Structure 1
Amino acid sequence: MSFYDAVVPAYLQMLNSVTGLLTKAEAHCAARKIDPSVLLGSRLFPDMLPLSRQIQLVSDYPTRGCARLTHSEVPSTPDTETSFAELKQRLAKTIDYVQSFKPEQFEGADAKDVTFPIGPGKTITMTGQQFLSSFSLPNLYFHAAIAHGILRHNGVEIGKRDFLGAN
């Protein structure tokens, strides 16, 4: 298996899965006459980020992951989305971005160093494999799972298959 095959399909699976979750959440709000901003602002606990920010982070980890692993410039993505449509558009742009990478761009990336910020004025360096398996994918799955939990907690009829992106 190439490193590309370990990276890109995993990112795309979660991006497509979360897009499906948002589609169901949007339908849930429409069917129950719930103001979408209420659901988008929902949190599992007061000190956690709201659903809208969880989705933005789901978009950020694949974008930054592909860029850092291929030593490309990390695109700037302002967090300005306030609706389901805008969040789904952000995810669609991220999917397009991830799909734009070619397998040869990832050749040797598993062994190359990746240096990235971990707070104000702090960076850490890991190999590409360590970055993917210890940082990028766990963070992606965490924020996708929290988004799923927020939606489920608020009555959106979703389950494990929706999280996994199964049809």
Structure 2
Amino acid sequence: MARWLRRMFWAWYLRVFAGIVSIRQRQNGTTRFGRSSSGTTDGMAGMKDHIISAPLYDFSVPTFVKGLKVLAHMLEMGADHARENGIPIDDIAGWKLAEDMLPLSFQVQTASNTAKNSLPRVAGTEAVPMEDNERTVAELQKRITKIVELLKAVEAVKFAGKETDQVLMKAGPKELEFTAKTYITCFALLLFSY
């Protein structure tokens, strides 16, 4: 059970990372192996400047949408695994990668909250409260679908010119301060993919 969950976690993580790399490559015109369309090699070094100048929307929302869709697919694969092995499907939501970790339901809620909360923090949209009380695979799937719809409804123009805007975020008793670009690239995308 934990082995299956670990395998699914790493598959999801790598797919999200592949989405980030693919966005970076489109920004600077390189192929998968660091070659430009003209055939010259510029590798990752040439990507750095383009990553920084990538529009926030292009760098965040499509990555969140893709990652959440992959996560939904993995939940479905988990449900199939449970059906095939006579395991109650809703037990999956309580599975853990390790004993000292919180359950899969918490991990899905955290990933989806990170994506959802990026919208009001960066784009200035209205915050959508969610209770984080999902305990079944069906409830987790419904949550993911709702957040994907929220993300798709936001227009890229809402992110335009926001790179240097201040983002304040409470983390327990502390208040963290970021620029919008730093929040997306150094906090939200990392937490989402972790």
Q: Do structure 1's residue 48 and structure 2's residue 109 form an aligned pair?
A: no
User: Which residue of the partner structure matches residue 141 of structure 1?
Assistant: 193
Matched-pair contact (CA < 8 Å) for 2:164–2:181:
yes
State the alpha-carbon separation in 1 of the partners of residues 145 and 178 from structure 2: 29
Larger relative contact order (CA 8 Å, sep ≥ 6): 1
1:58 pairs, out of 108, 111, 116, with: 111
Which stretches of structure 1, 4 residues or longer, exceed 6 Å deviation after superposition? none
For structure 1, the 5+ residue unaligned runs are 143-167
Q: CA deviation digits over 1:120-149, x for unaligned, max 9?
A: x3211100111011110100000xxxxxxx
SS of the equivalent of 1:132 reads helix
Match of 1:118 among 167, 171, 191: 171
**Structure having the higher Rg:** 2
Q: Which residue of the partner structure matches residue 130 of structure 1?
A: 182
CA contact (8 A) 2:163 2:180 kept: yes
Alignment partners' CA distance in 2, 1:131 and 1:31: 42
Which runs of 5 or more structure 2 residues have no equivalent in the other structure? 1-53
Cα deviation digits, residues 56-103 of structure 1 (max 9, x gap):
111111100122111233221101211111100000000000011001
Q: Secondary structure at 1:88's aligned position in 2?
A: helix
Q: CA deviation at 1:55?
A: 0.8
Query: How big is the shift at 1:45?
Result: 1.9
Q: Distance in 2 between matches of 1:72 and 1:66?
A: 6
Distance (whole Å) between structure 1 residues aligned to residue 92 and residue 142 of structure 2: 18
Two-structure CA RMSD over aligned residues (Å): 1.2
Say whether residues 1:81 and 2:131 are aligned partners: no
The Cα shift of 1:118 comes to 1.3
Structure 1 length-normalised TM: 0.80
Give the TM-score, by structure 2 length: 0.69
* 8 A Cα contact 2:56 2:184, kept in partner: no
CA contact (8 A) 2:115 2:192 kept: yes
In 2, Cα distance between equivalents of 1:39 and 1:8: 27
Who is 1:36 aligned against?
Answer: 89
Percent of aligned positions that are identical: 26
Q: Does 1:9 align with 2:62?
A: yes
Count of aligned pairs between the two proteins? 141
